[in-house]
Amino acid sequence: MQFAQIILPLNLKGTFTYKVPADFLDKIEVGMRVLVPFRGKKIYTGIVAELFNDFEETFVPKEIINLLDNQPIVPQQQLEFWNWLSSYYLCNLGEIYRLAFPSSLKLESETYVRLLSERTIDWQNLDANETYLLQALEVRQMLNLQEIEAFIPKKEIIKTINALIDERYISVDEKITEKYKAKEVAYLRINRDELNIKIHLAEVISSLKKAKKQQELFLLLLDKETENPDKPVRKSDIFDEGNFNQSQVKLLIEKKLIQEYYLEKYRIESYEGKIEEIEELTDIQKTAILEINQAFEEDKNVLLHGVTSSGKTHIYLEKIEDCVIAGENVLLLLPEIALTKQITIRLEKKYGKKLGFYHNKLTDFERVEVWKKIKNNELQILIGTRNSLFLPYENLGLIIVDEEHDSAYRQRDQSFFFNAKDSAMMLAEFYQSRLILGSATPSLESYDLAMKDKLRYVVLNERFGEVDLPEFKIIDIKEAQNQKKIVGNFSQTMIDEINRQLEERKQTIILHNRRGYANVVECETCGHVTYCSNCDVVMTYHKASNELKCHYCGHRASKPISCPSCNSDNLNTRGIGVEQIEEEVQKIFSDSEVDRMDVDSMRKKFAYEKLYEKLENGETDILVGTQMISKGLDFDNIELVAIPKADSMIHVQDFRAEERAYQLITQVAGRAGRISGKGKILIQTYNPLHSVFELIKNQNIKETYQYFLDERKKFLYPPFVKLIMIELKHRKEDKVNRASQFLGSIFRKYIPEECILGPEKSPIARLNNLYQYQVLLKFPKNRNYRIYKELLLKSFDEFDEITAYKSVKKDVFVDF
């Protein structure tokens, strides 16, 4: 095994070939980390992807500098998973590696400068920056670029360093620094090396008779050690008891009677409370379990379609327990970690320290710790967001994807686009483990797979405790307007119903899925509206903070007092946001406590916790909110959900809009009447006959999904075609425009016309100062897909040959 293919943490195609030095020949394995030089002096941590002997020397490979692991850190299954992701989502392995690893595990060399002693410095001929740098180096012989940035402007650093190198005053080098430091905790113990307790004990104690506190402390330590010889005594625990202080400890250490030592501690506090058993299942749940077991026996994965509050969690807990008993580990994926309290609490109570969390709110060091625990097989269950797909599991037996329809699984954050739900299905395959997708409102794609028995369809169609499902009522706003039975955005019917709830001391949820106070601030005189300076998007008015915000790039501006264009103060707002609904509700139900839950109101620290408590204590009468309120709010006292402007949800230019509206409404509806079964949902609309509202009202799952599937089939959307979107971005509009035209023409050379839509401007033509164009491809879902994908790759290669378009950023969204 003379050579190795190495994955580098760079967004570059393919892997790189390095020579394995003789010392590592018998140690190196696929999946280990290595240090390799890349491009001059720079050093990266790479992953061994492949080892082989024969190599046609078309170039001279460099040597691996060092081996960082004694055993593979990336399991074989993960490497297979990476390869699959790379070929399926058309992204580079390097991008995946970057996303998968906490950055502390990917050491990179750092450039630093060092003072050369061979020349005496001629201070007269130096400019100010050069003088600063040399002076600094006389104090601290080595400085890295960041440290230099503190006293030399960024732009001048390179110039200064180059000048000093030319003068042979300094040299530049690369150095690897260990970033991860395990947190260490201090412990105390009797110094048994120095004294033989049995012989000297009396002597020691009497020697301390003038220092009562020290004597006491020594005896306490002795007690603790005798009582529980294997339990280390934490220094902080001694202090916590309040009797002792640092100086007594110090003196005892000086007398060599006790010792202080350090142990590595995991930064993440884990549950230390009592461990509880889970409750008994209902008959319906038991049947579902049997069905799941049957499916698993047949090597089938499961779609668990459980109506809201049917107790999907119970099923999860049961299957998790089965898996743990079998000695295998479990991954529970959640769309977001923050809003899912109850399931985590229950698991914590049952599994205590065997449970781990992994999500984007952890610090990098915390991530490394979870990583290590998984690697050492110290965790039986991991609860995490999409990134936890990449942890180095060894014996994964079960993956559960909760709320599998949730769009958080298909988000595009910093890295490439991938669908965590679909990826989880592949990961399960590589690990030969089981998979359960769970939702009250499964995605159409999953439902379709279930109907074809590619996933076993298991239904829980009854609420826990045989509680009735909520009742839906559609209110025609036009009719209410005609009869003048309307106040603002609220029909009299809705107001009456909310009042009834208030009288009965029940809580009400009002859903309005649009942030801010008003969509647009418009000048009535000249029609001027304020656009974001970075994006082609109108700015939303937020009354609470009295400013305009761009919901895409986060740009903020103060609200204009008069029109910036014609100076008229005849400004008006259009498009109702959740803040305005809250204001209205406040006015109509002036005696009640109204709260709002949206991204903006939840930004403050503990805002969520505070609101949660208010709701739990029944202080909040009416909760107004965006889609956020559909998640994790399980309170017994909520009976009414009101949706005053439901139309806004279906009038979105997106083929998933109706599906999402259905899911959102059904999910919010699930908050109502969880215990009493008297849940009621009021939906106000101008289109009471719209199919989506009809379907929601009828609550016929089969009919609903059939309708959606028919629509998708009619307009050629997933799951009937493979959808791939290519987005091109550049600072200059004409450049992206030309690039996208060119890409379109290449596609048309190889791919049938009917599969190609565009190129055209993206719905948001400019985002963060980048102009965006997109091409949409609809490929058949049969065996031909492979051929089409080949043609797509060929087209990309041809496109990439044009160097002028290299600066155009190309993003590929497969199954977006």
Partner DNA sequence: AGCACGCCGACT
Partner DNA sequence: GTCGGCGTGCTC
Q: Which residues bind DNA (CB under 7 A)?
A: 10-12, 16-18, 36-40, 42, 59, 61-62, 155-156, 158-159, 803-804, 806-807, 809
CA dist 203 and 196 (Å) reads 11
Sign of CA dihedral 36, 41, 43, 47: negative
φ, ψ for residue 372, nearest 5 deg: -65, -40
Report the distance separating Cα 771 and Cα 741, nearest Å. 14
Coil, helix or strand for 734? helix
Contact 276, 317 (CB under 8 A): no
Closest by CA position to 57, among listed 102, 112, 17, 20 = 17
- Nearest CA-CA partner of 812 in 390, 335, 412: 412
| Choice between 32 and 347, CB closer to DNA | 32
- Which residues are within 8 A (CB) of 65 and not within 5 positions of it... i.e. 6 or more apart? 34, 35, 36, 37, 43
Q: Is 563 annotated as a binding residue?
A: yes
Helix then strand then coil, % of the chain, to nearest 5: 40, 25, 35
Residue closer to DNA, measured from CB, 37 or 677 = 37
What's the rounded Cα separation, in Å, for the pair 397 and 773?
A: 43
At its nearest, how many Å lie between DNA and the CB of residue 805? 8
The string of DSSP codes covering 515-526 is -SSEEEEEETTT
Cβ-based nearer residue to DNA, 15 or 704: 15
Smallest separation (angstroms) from DNA to the CB of 59: 6
Q: Is 523 annotated as a binding residue?
A: yes
Grouping H, G, I as helix, E, B as strand and the rest as coil, residue 86 is: helix
- DSSP assignment, residue 22? G
**Which CB, 138 or 364, lies closer to DNA?**
364
Q: Which residues contact 279 (CB under 8 A, 6 or more apart)?
A: 314
- Residue 803 CB, shortest distance to DNA, in Å, is 4
Measured from the CB of residue 766, what is the shortest distance to DNA in angstroms?
17
Work out how close the CB of 16 gets to DNA at its nearest, in angstroms, rounded to a whole number.
4
Closest to DNA by CB, 40 or 229: 40
Number of residues in the chain = 816
Rounded Cα gap, residues 152 and 160, in angstroms: 9
Residue 323, annotated as binding a ligand: no
Nearest to 261 by CA among 187, 184, 183: 187
532 among the known binding-site residues?
Answer: yes
Closest distance of CB 114 from DNA, Å: 16
- Residue number with CB closer to DNA (159 or 556): 159
Closest to DNA by CB, 18 vs 218, is 18
Q: Kindly tell me which of 11 and 141 has the beta carbon lying closer to DNA.
A: 11
In the numeric block, which tokens belong to residue 164?
A: 């000093």
Q: Indicate the residue among 290 and 804 with the shorter CB distance to DNA.
A: 804
Residue 465: other Cβ atoms inside 10 A = 11
Give me the long-range contacts of 148-155 (CB less than 8 A, separation at least 24). Answer: 148/113
Residues 6 or more apart whose CB falls under 8 angstroms from that of 676 comprise 467, 636, 639
Q: Could you tell me the smallest distance in angstroms from the CB atom of residue 44 to DNA?
A: 9
Cβ 463 to DNA shortest distance, Å: 49
3-state secondary structure of 111: strand
E strand or H helix that includes residue 174: strand 170-176
CB of 58 to DNA, least distance (A): 9
**Nearest to DNA of 113, 486 (CB atom):** 113
Q: Do 729 and 811 touch, CB atoms closer than 8 A?
A: yes
Q: Which is nearer to DNA, 169 or 416 (CB)?
A: 416
Query: And the tokens for 728?
Result: 């091109």
CB of 98 to DNA, least distance (A): 9
- Compute the C-alpha angle 553/96/1, nearest 5°: 160
**Residue 91 is labelled as binding a ligand:** no
Q: Which is nearer to DNA, 10 or 182 (CB)?
A: 10
Where do we find the tokens 């719905």?
Answer: 763
CB of 12 or CB of 268, closer to DNA: 12
Q: How far is the CB of 159 from DNA (least distance, A)?
A: 5
- Residue 423 CA, chain-centre distance (Å), reads 14
Q: Which two tokens stand for residue 71?
A: 């055993």
The CA-based dihedral angle spanning residues 802, 808, 812, 813, taken in that order and rounded to the nearest 10 degrees:
-150
* 3-state SS assignment for residue 692: helix
Q: How far is the CB of 560 from DNA (least distance, A)?
A: 31
| Nearest alpha carbon to residue 702 among 402, 451, 445 | 451
Q: Using CA atoms, how far apart are residues 132 and 714, in angstroms rounded to an integer?
A: 70
Q: What whole-number distance in Å separates Cα of residue 229 and Cα of residue 208?
A: 24
The answer to whether 755 is a known ligand-binding residue is: no
Secondary structure tally for the chain: helices H, strands E = 25, 36
What is the DSSP code (8-state) at residue 732? S
Ranges of beta strands (E only) in 638-692 are 638-643, 680-685
| Helix, strand or coil, per DSSP, at residue 747 | helix
Identity of the residue, 58 or 120, whose beta carbon is nearer to DNA in the bound complex: 58
Backbone angles phi, psi at 389, to 5 degrees: -65, -20
Contact at 8 Å (CB) between 204 and 195? yes
Q: How far is the CB of 162 from DNA (least distance, A)?
A: 9
Closest CA to 763 of 681, 652, 629, 641: 652
Q: Which lies closer to DNA via its Cβ, residue 17 or residue 676?
A: 17
Tell me which residue has tokens 């139900």: 589
Write out the binding residues: 523, 526, 532, 535, 550, 553, 563, 566
Binding residues for Zn(2+): 523, 526, 532, 535, 550, 553, 563, 566
